[in-house]
Amino acid sequence: MGLTDIRSRIAAAARDAGRASEDITLIAVSKVQPNERVDAVLREGHRSFGENRVQEAAGKWPDFRARFDGIDLHLIGPLQTNKARQAFELFDAIHTLDRPKLAKTFARLAQETGHCPPLFIQVNTGEEPQKAGIAPDATDAFVKDCLALDLPVHGLMCIPPAEETPSLHFALLRKLAERNGLKQLSMGMSADFEQAIAFGATHIRVGSAIFGERETPET
Ligand SMILES: *Cc1c(COP(=O)(O)O)cnc(C)c1O
């Protein structure tokens, strides 16, 4: 457990896959973690973090940004259209572009502000009704629509169903990205980031394995 251990596991998984570990961004998922733990990881020199709620990120990251340079903050949770403007201001990347209405809102904001963070399209690889994301067979068309809106789509993101073998989902996400010419893959969490690296993950989202179990349940 902890950052050093995760970094060496990333290096080992990258080596096994014949990949360079510099090509894998470790996003430390700090949602609902006490600020002291986040502070400790920042003091260890880590700079890429992930949050799943705009409100929570707005409450803690301006302060950390004032104290530490080079913070790279990723939104990894569902985004309501009415919070898109705030998300543009707070985050350096958004991993949860998951519906046409949000794409249109992003395009409008990009026009208005002259800026848009790098985007990942979330794909519901398990086709779970309760989960956000574009269905796999609708992904090609959605990528085209987003590119037609001039959105900076860098890659795809998925959260595999808890009870299924994650590798199948990682393989599917990679296939969808490859055939759409997208280079980045946001996949892999505490329990399966090594497998995700084997399947080409460029961004892994690791929370509890770095910070310890979350004390407050997610909402
Ligand atoms: C919470 C969360 C993670 C991190 O989960 P851990 O199992 O704690 O590593 C990764 N991705 C998303 C989208 C999350 O919401």
Alpha-carbon gap, residue 72 to 30, rounded angstroms:
12
Is residue 24 over pLDDT 70?
A: yes
Is residue 218 over pLDDT 60?
A: no
Domain ranges of the chain: 3-211
pTM above 0.75, yes or no: yes
What is the per-residue pLDDT across 162-214, written as a single tens digit (0 to 9) for each? 999 999 999 999 999 999 999 999 999 999 999 999 999 999 999 999 998 88
* Amino acid letter, 116: C
What is the per-residue pLDDT across 44-89, written as a single tens digit (0 to 9) for each? 999 999 999 999 999 999 999 999 999 999 999 999 999 999 999 9
206 CA closest ligand 1 atom index: 9
Asked if 77 and 31 count as a contact pair (C-beta separation under 8 A), the reply is yes
Q: Whose CA is nearest to atom 4 of ligand 1?
A: 207
Name the CATH topology of 3-211. TIM Barrel (3.20.20)
Pocket test of ligand 1: the residue of 5, 9, 29, 193 to mutate, having most ligand atoms within 8 Å of its CB, is 29
Ligand 1 site, residue 29, Cβ cutoff 6 A:
yes
Q: Which has the closest alpha carbon to 102: 118, 82, 116, 124?
A: 82
Is residue 216 over pLDDT 70?
A: no
Pocket test of ligand 1: the residue of 27, 187, 205 to mutate, having most ligand atoms within 8 Å of its CB, is 205
pLDDT at 1: 64
Per cent of the chain over pLDDT 70 is 98
pLDDT at 217: 60
Alpha-carbon gap, residue 49 to 38, rounded angstroms:
9
Is residue 31 over pLDDT 70?
A: yes
Q: How far is the CA of 148 from the centre of ligand 1 (A)?
A: 31
Is residue 215 over pLDDT 80?
A: no
Query: Stretch 117-131: mean pLDDT, rounded?
Result: 98
**Contacts for 38 with CB less than 8 Å, ≥ 6 apart:** 30, 49, 60, 64, 211
pLDDT at 161: 97
Mean pLDDT of the chain: 96
209 CA closest ligand 1 atom index: 9
Q: Is 150 left (phi over 0), alpha (psi -120 to 50) or beta?
A: left
